């Protein structure tokens, strides 16, 4: 089972959550649950989060779970970026931004996302 992990990029610690290629909602829900524990054990506004959603299974149920997960993480996250959004996910992403009050930026590559996160690192 995958878990969120802290990786070092550009001299900063980033919480990397890798949903890429996950093909079942059960896998996704397991990763959400384990990632909650990692992120929510950190100090408030301390986490730089990078989420990879490339080619992951996606439907309304997954959208709802991801939205609740992201809302719950908000107190702990300083900056957040996502990569790998496809057509349907992009539509849901736009809706998510409206209703979640989260500022999660979407990027094509992890390198672009890391550069964005670096701008919040002091």
Query: 94 Cβ partners below 8 Å, 6+ apart?
Result: none
51-96 pLDDT, tens per residue? 999 999 999 999 999 999 999 999 999 999 999 998 888 888 888 8
13-43 residue pLDDT tens: 999 999 999 999 999 999 999 999 999 999 9
Given this model, what pLDDT does residue 16 score? 98
Quick one: what percent of the chain has pLDDT higher than 90?
82
pLDDT at res. 45: 97
| Average per-residue pLDDT for the chain | 94
DSSP state, 45?
Answer: T
Give pLDDT, residue 32.
98
Place of tokens 């001299």: 11
What Å distances lie between residue 59 and 2, 65, 92, 116, 117, CA to CA?
20, 10, 9, 28, 28
**Alpha-carbon distance 48 to 6, whole Å?**
9
How many residues does the structure list for the chain? 122
Q: State the residue range of the domain holding 38.
A: 5-118
CB-CB contact of 39 with 49 (8 Å): yes
User: Where residue 50 sits, what CATH number does that domain have?
Assistant: 3.30.750
Number of domains in the chain: 1
């Amino acid at each position: 089972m995958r878990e969120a992990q802290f990786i070092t990029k550009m001299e900063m610690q980033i919480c990397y959550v890798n949903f890429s290629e996950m093909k079942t909602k059960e896998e996704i829900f397991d990763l959400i649950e384990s990632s909650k524990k990692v992120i929510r054990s950190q100090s408030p506004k301390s986490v730089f989060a990078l989420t990879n959603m490339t080619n992951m299974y996606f439907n309304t149920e997954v959208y709802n779970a991801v939205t609740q997960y992201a809302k719950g993480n908000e107190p702990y996250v300083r900056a957040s970026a996502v990569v790998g959004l496809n057509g349907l996910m992009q539509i849901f992403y736009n809706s998510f931004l409206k209703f979640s009050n989260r500022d999660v930026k979407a990027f094509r590559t992890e390198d672009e996302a890391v550069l964005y996160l670096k701008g919040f690192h002091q």
